[in-house]
């Protein structure tokens, strides 16, 4: 037994010997709570900022100035449109229907506005989007009929000086391109950053490379199977220009547009034409129109009017449109590279889609869509329909199919509660996390102590997500008050955080070597995301 003089006496029975403190371990002291006076000032700041945000909410003036979307025009067609389409999805809409045997007996319905004030009329310009592909296909068919090219001409033959990275593209024929069987993916912004940039501005083709350059440097995917491709159609237009020696815009005008008198159907990278229906993700929420004319043959930077498309479909119905052979089936039923159950039984002509619609029969059609425009032309052999809308929520193909039937039914859409929950979460969750940090002096989820790095990172994150919600959220389903409330919470939290700033350490992470890099990455992501959303808002409203 150790003596009383032993330098290391034994511990008492049942007790643990006290451990010396670790001089290298930092125990951050929890910040003291903000005084009531600070909280009251923060509340006042939040109320002032929230009220200002509500008054300056950018979508509210456009929506409030626009008359309610009412379907006006021929009574029978208006009743059918009302039965199928929720008017809350409509920014601006024009619909036409006529019997193929009497194409001059056109029923018309219009609704909403082009820009929040100008009512839609049959001569309002809309983006055509991919509907323009049928003009490209008809140009091909017309050139084949005149013996100026052939459907089995290959890209390697047309572009002998181009070295294709994938030999399958050199072997792809004009028919493959016109029926989406060449193995091209749709060329848009690629990768997470590219897709986010496209969503931010709304223009998915803003920085897309020229189609021949894209084809020369990319690999094919499932050639011989159906894979819808804007890049393939843009390259088809370039191939036709090479075959004819005429630039594509002049070629399609010479072969299809001018013979049919489609004077208001144009290729333009100058933006929304005068009086045009600018695209909207939903009513009141403007988005950038698509302007990369390198992809015009696929329907990018192309505009038309409902009257022009009715004139075009009348010529198609009468069988005297240039390139009418393009409507003849090439594939009775396509094989999909990626299964698409909703298009089961799809057939392909040159450019035109063929599908059996229950209660209607076989329909020959083509739809189009940007991030803010929906278009559709369709015929079942007895009647034809044209749909043009400048809000993405209008399901133009479904509407056209319903209008060709005898008993139109409501088109289901994503529920307002789901859209409200998504938008509300983007606005409120980051704001609540920030407010919890400065009030509790700890993070809400991981329970880490308040420090300056967390004040900065959570503040920037909340502001960035507030802008994401403003740019990409659904403000048809979500009241503007939600955005104002989120902004108010962020402002109040910033006011409390400012009081804490001099009273908390710069860094109080458990692992500093990890906390500091994560902070830097968080700040960069928030700044990048917020800047992209601001840019997108500025571009959309320019």
Q: Which of 404, 425, 447 is the last residue of a domain?
A: 404
Compute the distance between CA of residue 196 and CA of residue 533 in angstroms, rounded to an integer. Answer: 9
Instruction: Verify that 394 and 419 share a domain, yes or no.
Output: no
Instruction: Verify that 104 and 174 share a domain, yes or no.
Output: yes
CA distances from 261 to 123, 267, 315, 321 (A): 14, 15, 11, 11
At residue 536, φ and ψ (nearest 5 deg) are -60, -40
Beta strands in 177-313 (DSSP E): 266-267, 280-282, 285-286, 302-304
Q: Looking at residue 438, what is its pLDDT?
A: 94
Q: Looking at residue 29, what is its pLDDT?
A: 56
Contact 389, 396 (CB under 8 A): yes
The pTM assigned to this predicted structure is: 0.82
CATH number at residue 128: 3.40.710.10
Compute the distance between CA of residue 260 and CA of residue 324 in angstroms, rounded to an integer. Answer: 12
Q: Looking at residue 314, what is its pLDDT?
A: 97
Instruction: Verify that 92 and 143 share a domain, yes or no.
Output: yes
- Tokens, residue 75: 């009574």
Instruction: Verify that 57 and 81 share a domain, yes or no.
Output: no
Chain centroid offset of residue 328 CA: 32
Q: How many domains does the chain have?
A: 2
Three-state secondary structure string covering 95-116? EEEEECCCCCCCEEEEEEECCC
CB atoms within 10 A of CB 161: 4
Beta strands in 353-405 (DSSP E): 353-357, 361-369, 374-379, 383-389
Q: Looking at residue 282, what is its pLDDT?
A: 86
Contact 58, 470 (CB under 8 A): yes
Whether 7 maps to a domain, the answer reads no
Instruction: Verify that 309 and 423 share a domain, yes or no.
Output: no
Whether 334 maps to a domain, the answer reads yes
Compute the distance between CA of residue 470 and CA of residue 537 in angstroms, rounded to an integer. Answer: 9
Instruction: Verify that 490 and 531 share a domain, yes or no.
Output: yes
Instruction: Verify that 332 and 428 share a domain, yes or no.
Output: no
Radius of gyration over every alpha carbon of the chain, rounded to an integer in angstroms:
30
- Tokens, residue 416: 């307002």
Contact 188, 230 (CB under 8 A): yes
Instruction: Residue 426: name the closest of 364, 469, 365, 477 by CA.
Output: 469
**Which spans in 268-366 are helix H?**
306-318
Instruction: Verify that 149 and 273 share a domain, yes or no.
Output: yes
Compute the distance between CA of residue 211 and CA of residue 233 in angstroms, rounded to an integer. Answer: 9
CB atoms within 10 A of CB 435: 23
Whether 127 maps to a domain, the answer reads yes
Instruction: Verify that 154 and 114 share a domain, yes or no.
Output: yes
Instruction: Verify that 279 and 397 share a domain, yes or no.
Output: yes
Q: Looking at residue 62, what is its pLDDT?
A: 41
Whether 10 maps to a domain, the answer reads no
Q: What is the pLDDT along the chain (542 residues), one digit of tens a residue?
A: 444 444 444 444 445 555 555 444 445 556 789 999 999 999 999 999 999 999 888 764 344 444 468 999 999 999 999 999 989 889 999 999 999 999 999 999 999 999 888 999 999 999 999 999 999 999 999 999 999 999 999 999 999 999 999 999 999 999 999 999 999 887 555 555 555 555 555 677 877 889 999 999 989 888 999 999 999 999 999 999 999 999 999 999 999 999 999 999 999 999 999 999 999 988 888 888 999 999 999 999 999 999 999 999 999 999 999 999 999 999 999 988 778 887 888 999 999 999 999 999 999 999 999 989 999 999 999 999 999 999 998 999 999 999 999 999 998 876 678 878 999 999 999 999 999 999 999 999 989 999 999 999 999 999 999 999 988 888 877 888 999 999 999 999 999 999 999 999 999 888 888 989 999 999 999 999 998 888 878 776 66
For residue 252, give its domain range: 72-404
CB atoms within 10 A of CB 309: 26
3-state secondary structure of 364: strand
Instruction: Verify that 80 and 199 share a domain, yes or no.
Output: yes
């Amino acid at each position: 037994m150790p003596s009383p003089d032993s330098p290391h006496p034994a511990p008492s029975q049942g007790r643990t010997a006290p451990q010396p403190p670790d001089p290298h371990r930092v125990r951050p002291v929890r910040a003291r709570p903000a005084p009531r006076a600070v909280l009251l000032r923060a509340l006042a700041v939040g109320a002032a900022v929230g009220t200002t945000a509500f008054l300056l909410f950018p979508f509210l003036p456009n929506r409030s100035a626009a008359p309610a979307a009412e379907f006006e025009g021929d009574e029978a067609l208006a009743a059918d449109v009302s039965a199928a389409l929720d008017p809350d999805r409509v920014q601006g809409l024009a619909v036409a229907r006529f019997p193929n045997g009497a194409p001059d007996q056109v029923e018309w319905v219009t609704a909403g506005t082009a820009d929040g004030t100008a009512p839609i009329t049959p001569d309002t310009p809309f983006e055509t989007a991919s509907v323009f592909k049928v003009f490209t296909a008809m140009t091909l068919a017309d050139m084949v009929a005149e013996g100026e090219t052939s459907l089995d001409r290959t890209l390697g033959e047309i572009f002998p000086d181009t070295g294709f990275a994938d030999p399958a593209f050199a072997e792809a024929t004009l028919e493959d391109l016109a029926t989406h069987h060449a193995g091209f993916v749709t060329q848009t912004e690629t990768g997470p950053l590219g897709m986010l940039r496209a969503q931010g501005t709304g223009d998915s083709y803003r920085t897309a490379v020229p189609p021949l350059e894209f084809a020369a440097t990319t690999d094919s995917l499932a050639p011989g199977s159906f894979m819808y491709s804007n890049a393939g159609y843009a390259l088809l237009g370039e191939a036709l220009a090479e075959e004819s020696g005429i630039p594509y815009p002049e070629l399609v005008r010479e072969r299809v547009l001018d013979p049919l008198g489609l004077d208001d159907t144009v290729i333009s990278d100058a933006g929304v034409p005068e009086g045009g229906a600018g695209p909207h993700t939903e009513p009141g929420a403007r988005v950038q129109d698509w302007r990369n004319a390198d992809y015009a043959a696929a329907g990018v930077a192309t505009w038309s009017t409902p009257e022009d498309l009715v004139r075009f479909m009348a010529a198609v119905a009468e069988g005297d449109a240039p390139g009418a052979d393009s409507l003849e089936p090439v594939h009775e039923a396509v094989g999909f590279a990626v299964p698409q159950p909703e298009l089961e039984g799809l057939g392909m002509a040159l450019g035109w889609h063929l599908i059996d619609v229950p209660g209607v029969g076989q329909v020959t059609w083509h739809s189009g869509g940007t991030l803010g425009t929906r278009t559709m032309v369709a015929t079942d052999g007895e009647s034809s329909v044209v749909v043009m809308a400048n809000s993405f929520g209008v399901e133009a193909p479904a509407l056209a199919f319903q209008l060709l039937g005898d008993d139109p039914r409501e088109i289901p859409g994503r529920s307002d509660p789901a859209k409200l929950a998504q938008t509300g979460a983007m606005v409120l969750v980051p704001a609540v996390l920030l407010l919890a940090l400065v009030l509790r002096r700890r993070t809400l989820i991981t329970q880490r102590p308040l420090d300056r790095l967390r004040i900065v990172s959570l503040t920037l994150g909340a502001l960035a997500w507030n802008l994401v919600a403003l740019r990409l959220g659904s403000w048809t389903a979500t009241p503007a008050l939600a955005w104002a409330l989120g902004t108010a919470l962020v402002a109040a939290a910033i006011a409390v955080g400012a009081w804490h700033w001099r009273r908390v350490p710069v860094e109080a992470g458990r692992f500093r070597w990890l906390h500091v890099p994560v902070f830097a990455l968080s700040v960069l992501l928030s700044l990048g995301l917020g800047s992209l959303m601001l840019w997108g808002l500025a571009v959309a409203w320019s």
